[in-house]
Amino acid sequence: MHISPAGEDLFKRQGEFMRLRNIPGAKEAIADSKYCVQEPETFAGQWNRHFPKDQPLHIEIGMGKGKFLMELAATHPEINYLGIERYTSVLYRAVQKMELCPLPNLYFVCFDAARITELFAPGEVERIYLNFSDPWPKDRHARRRLTSPDFLARYREIIDGKGRLEFKTDNRGLFDYSVETVKDSDQWELAAVTYDLHHDETLCQGNIMTEYEEKFSALGNPICKLIAVPRPCI
């Protein structure tokens, strides 16, 4: 999908809260942390053996500092959660929180989601969360968006046939793009869409706010959410 110059403006906010300073010692702390899985590719197909209980696996891609996942994991002990974050400086903040309040059903992985299919066996993941993903407003960077057709195809490889993908953002340009990529996909279909999550009685039930969601909804930005499910095979 091409984004017009006007459309690009809708995307522009990338960087406001995103830039993180390099934190000395973060890389080493993550390599030593019992909450971060080292060599995560070796667990593909057997993630449940890494958790105390054999139960469904839900993941968040681009988890940031982990607020959403920590609250979700505390609320749902019957689910195993894995948080995936590319940058050690960001993940380090989540590790520090886990040290204060450990959860048996939550682990973190420092990994680039472009290689997500290396982490899981086909159908191993029951749910994927994408929250306030980086918008990458320039057309030439569109393939980096976590809702691009390439990423949707990777997610389809690892998702259970009865699973789902949930995506939240306040960035209307990115959201419209994501709705279109799901609609154009022959592997996914839209199950629900809202342009004002916090005033949607149904979709807001049990909603847990992410760090970005708190910041941007406090500024008055409506939060958009879509749920996508695998298209049934014909």
Secondary structure class of 37 (helix, strand, coil): coil
Judged by CB, which is closer to ligand SAM: 55, or 228? 228
Q: Which helix (H) or strand (E) holds 109?
A: strand 106-110
Active site residue 176: no
User: Taking the complex as a whole, how short is the minimal distance between the CB of residue 234 and ligand SAM, in angstroms?
Assistant: 31
User: Taking the complex as a whole, how short is the minimal distance between the CB of residue 66 and ligand SAM, in angstroms?
Assistant: 8
Q: Which helix (H) or strand (E) holds 9?
A: helix 5-11
Judged by CB, which is closer to ligand SAM: 79, or 109? 109
Residues that bind ligand SAM (CB under 6 A): 18, 61-64, 84-87, 90, 112-114, 131-134, 210-213
Q: Which helix (H) or strand (E) holds 188?
A: strand 188-194
Judged by CB, which is closer to ligand SAM: 53, or 74? 74
Separation between Cα atoms, residue 137 and residue 173, nearest integer Å: 8
Judged by CB, which is closer to ligand SAM: 90, or 182? 90
Select which of 54, 112, 134, 170 is catalytic.
134
Amino acid of residue 162: K
CB atoms within 10 A of CB 180: 13
Separation between Cα atoms, residue 226 and residue 172, nearest integer Å: 12
User: Taking the complex as a whole, how short is the minimal distance between the CB of residue 224 and ligand SAM, in angstroms?
Assistant: 13
Phi, psi of 129 (to 5 degrees): -110, 135
User: If we measure between CA atoms, which residue out of 176, 193, 185, 108 comes closest to residue 153?
Assistant: 185
Q: Who contacts 37 (Cβ-Cβ below 8 Å, separation ≥6)?
A: 43, 50, 82, 107, 108, 109
User: Taking the complex as a whole, how short is the minimal distance between the CB of residue 70 and ligand SAM, in angstroms?
Assistant: 12
- Here the tokens at position 2 are 């091409």
Secondary structure class of 71 (helix, strand, coil): helix
Judged by CB, which is closer to ligand SAM: 29, or 55? 29
User: Taking the complex as a whole, how short is the minimal distance between the CB of residue 210 and ligand SAM, in angstroms?
Assistant: 3
Active site residues: 134
